[in-house]
Amino acid sequence: MLVLLLQQTDLAQYMTQHPGGLHSHNVRIFMFQLLRALSYIHGRRILHRDLKPHNLLISYLGELKLADFGVCCAFNREGLHGAGLARSKSIPAQNFSSEVVTLWYRPPDVLMGSIHYSTALDMWGAGCIFIEMLQGAPAFAGGSDELEQLQNIWTVLGVPSEDSWPGVSLLPNYRPERFIHCRPKLFRDVWKR
């Protein structure tokens, strides 16, 4: 059983209380703490698999705590099991479900059906949270299914091809013809900060 201290709020509530994006000092502090937490769990072969502001608790002192690893988690030969989405990873990488991570924070390869993933899964979520803290709104909000979510991402990054992303055509749900083709944009043109 995993027990955490009761915290004042989570990052989602904190951002609601500070509309328009957080002060850059707070963004730096929270990102530093988030990346340290990810380094710690990744160093112990654990993937969080559901990074989002609701799963980042904040104390009265401004300490960020990584939460929602599941209830009654236990290790056995197959890895970490529990009600949450956290899993241990092994070398070589295991096959996992593509039904992980809240849709707005799910990376493109997983949206396209990849079940082979690594710590990059959590790092995509951390990047989305970073943008959200700066902007005061989710980086790729509004997707109600995988295709719509991918279109939100492709609108900013452009629809990938084998030239821009070697191996993308091997992903189970890679179908570029389903998307409105967009050229990659500069982040400064998409997000104000």
> Which residues are part of the catalytic machinery?
50
Distance CA 24, CA 172 (A): 39
Distance CA 93, CA 83 (A): 21
Among 136, 132, 139, CA closest to 20: 136
Query: Phi and psi dihedrals of 76, rounded to 5?
Result: -145, -170
> Burial of 35 by CB count in 10 Å (0-12 exposed, 13-18 middle, 19+ buried)?
middle
Say whether the peptide bond before residue 160 is cis (omega within 30 degrees of 0). no
